[in-house]
Amino acid sequence: MRLQKYVSSLTLMAALLVGSMAFAAPQQGRQEGRHDDDKEHKSTRYYDRHHRDYHEWNERENRAYSNWETEKHKAHREFHERRSTDQSRYWTWRHSHPDHD
C-alpha cells in the first residue's frame, strides 16, 4: 500500500513539473524578444514598454547599442543579458539618438 502511494505521488509531481515547464517556455520568449519565422532573415524584436513600440535588433541596432555602452561607460554585455532597467535606459537613449541616413 505504501509503495502505491509513493508511486502515485511521484507520478503526480512529474505531471505537474512537465505541465509547468510547458507553460513557462512561451513566457520567456516574450520577455527576451521574438524570433521571426523567416528562414533567410533571422531577427529579434524587443518591445519598449515606455515608448510602446517594437525595435528590430539588426546590425544598425547593434552599432547603436555599442555606442550606448561606450558613452555610458558600460562593460559589454549582450542586450538580452542586461537587466530590464538597463534595457529601458537604452531604449530611452535610442529614441533620442536616431539613425541619420
Alpha-carbon dihedral 46, 50, 62, 85, rounded to 10 degrees? -100
23 against 51, higher pLDDT: 51
Q: Using the predicted structure, report yes or no on whether residue 8 has a pLDDT greater than 90.
A: no
The answer on pLDDT for 98 being more than 80 is yes
Side chain identity at residue 62, one-letter code: N
The 3-state DSSP class for residue 88 equals helix
Element (H, E) at 44: strand 44-48
Look up residue 10 and give its three cell numbers.
511521484
Rg (C-alpha) for the chain, rounded Å, is 21
Contact 55, 65 (CB under 8 A): no
- Residue ranges per structural domain of the chain: 45-101
For 6-34, what is the mean pLDDT? 63
